[in-house]
Amino acid sequence: MKKIKIGNKIIGDGEPCFIVAEIGCNHDGKLARAKQMIDAAVKAKCDAVKFQLFSADKSFNKYLKYERRGWMALLKKLELPKKWLPVLSNYCQKKGIIFFSSVGDEEKADWLEAIDVPAYKIPSYELTHLPLIKYIAKKKKPIILSSGIADKKEIKQAIETIYKEGNKNVILTHCVSAYPTKFEDLNLKTIPYYKKKFNIPTGLSDHSLGILSSSIAAALGANIVEKHITLDKKLPGPDHYFALDKKEIKQWVSQIRDTEKALGKIKKQPAPGEKNEVLWRRAIWAKKDIAKGTKFKKETLMVVRPSPVGSLAPKEIYKVLNKKAKKDIKKGELITSNKLL
């Protein structure tokens, strides 16, 4: 599998999981809040932050009924202004975290290209928008492709569209576009399936509650994990209530890293922490006083803990029973090879 570089991070098998804190539109139109959220992601040691760049008028038919429900008005309030982009990008660079964004239309892709963004995100609802995907692919930057709602055929078409433009830097995220996602709908086994099917770095865009599913994804080999964050779950807005707050963001990152540590490598031998535990295996000891020249018998021996250096393992008892004591042995004394005739 090809490894893909985004900023100063390498994404792929054998590399740490790329952890993305999705700020999305939870800035609620406030630049100061956006910066505070970046700070929270940095403090939690996330690798990147992701925003959402869209225009309500270019995304939805404003003449349909949802306009009457205030949907379009809400979306307009959540739009990320063009003038914010260099500010946020520079702020992230200063803080040592990667900045990128999802893209809703060609104009927004050009905005991001103007600040030399290191990657583009295609959100799930745009996966079948092949003209947009083709336009972004031509920019030759890594593309993170989210697969919510999509079937295998649609995912394959999107990947092939990118490949046809000579761009081989594709990362796929398994995603369920239900907010929040029920655990029974996550189907996290899809992650290793997609990795094998498409042979590209694959991970999880996680919309479930809590942090468990991301750690399971990491255990299944996810190369990237992405999750919404917030400063306060009670803030108004569509994505706050299921996002992680500042305390949870730290727990999320920590648990993923602990999962990676626990997975370790395929190497079956005692771990460093087990070094002294070998002494608590069983060994052969004298159950009674045994006189010199006396043949060892089952009733004069016991197989118990501990097993000091130089002791005989339990499997050696059959050899010991055929021997005689080389010298007097006291009850409770360790049986060693130099005490056998």
**What CATH number did the domain enclosing 39 receive?**
3.20.20.70
Res 66: pLDDT? 64
Nearest residue to 144 (alpha-carbon basis) of 44, 238, 7, 331? 7
Strand-pairing partners, residue 224, are 18
In eight-state DSSP terms, residue 341 is -
Output phi, psi for 306, to 5 deg: -90, -170
Instruction: State residue 268's pLDDT score.
Output: 65
Could you tell me if 55 and 192 lie in one domain? yes
Indicate if 324 and 249 belong to the same structural domain.
Answer: no
pLDDT at residue 247, as a whole number: 96
pLDDT, residue 73, reads 76
User: What φ, ψ does residue 258 adopt, rounded to 5°?
Assistant: -65, -35
Distances (CA, A) of 99 to 25, 50, 112, 115, 225: 14, 6, 10, 10, 15
CATH number of the domain within which 322 lies:
3.90.1210.10
Across-strand partners of 325? 340
The whole-number pLDDT of residue 68 equals 56
Q: How confident is the model at residue 242, as a pLDDT?
A: 93
Do residues 89 and 232 both lie within one domain? yes
> Is residue 123 exposed (0-12), middle (13-18) or buried (19+ Cβ within 10 Å)?
buried
217 shares a domain with 282: no
Question: Rounded to an integer, what is the distance from CA 192 to the centroid of its chain?
Answer: 13
Each of the 341 residues of the chain gets a pLDDT tens digit; together they read 899 999 999 999 999 999 999 999 999 999 999 999 999 999 999 999 999 999 888 887 777 776 556 777 778 888 899 999 999 999 999 999 999 999 999 999 999 999 999 999 999 999 999 999 999 999 999 999 999 999 999 999 999 999 999 999 999 999 999 889 999 999 999 999 999 999 999 999 999 999 999 999 999 999 999 999 999 999 988 889 999 999 999 999 999 999 999 998 776 666 676 777 888 899 999 999 999 999 999 999 999 999 999 999 999 999 999 899 999 999 999 999 999 87
Domain count, the chain: 2
Alpha-carbon distance 162 to 136, whole Å? 8
Q: Which amino acid does the sequence have at 161? A: T
End-of-domain residue from the set 245, 263, 281: 263
Among candidate residues 263, 287, 320, the one where a domain is terminated: 263
User: Phi/psi at 197 (nearest 5 deg)?
Assistant: -65, -45
Joined tokens for residue 167 = 């761009």
Report whether the peptide linkage leading into residue 308 is cis, meaning its omega lies within 30 degrees of zero: no
Residues 136 and 161 in one domain: yes
| Domain termination residue (choose one: 205, 235, 263) | 263
Look at residue 224 in the predicted model and tell me its pLDDT.
98
Residues near 171 by beta carbon (within 8 Å), at least 6 away in sequence = 4, 11, 142, 143, 144, 145, 200, 201, 202, 203, 223, 224
Determine if the peptide bond prior to 201 is cis (ω within 30°): no
pLDDT at 270: 66
Nearest one of 217, 184, 213 to 202, comparing CA atoms: 217
**H helix runs in the chain, sequence order:** 31-43, 56-59, 71-78, 84-95, 106-114, 130-137, 152-164, 190-198, 212-219, 246-263, 317-320
**Residues 51 and 133 both lie in one domain:** yes
Same domain as 291, residue 214: no
B/e letters for 136-172, b = 16+ CB within 10 Å, e = fewer, are: bbeeebbbbbbbbebeeeebeebbebbeeeebebbbb
Q: Mark whether 116 and 151 lie in a shared domain.
A: yes
- Structure-block tokens of residue 42: 């940095």
Same domain, 121 and 198: yes
Tell me, what's the pLDDT at 63?
A: 74
This prediction has a pTM of 0.84
Residue numbers of the domain that contains 279 = 272-339
243 and 281 inside one domain: no
Residue 156 and residue 18 share a domain: yes
Same domain, residue pair 146 and 283 = no
Query: What pLDDT does residue 264 have?
Result: 85
Give the residue carrying structure tokens 């990320």.
80
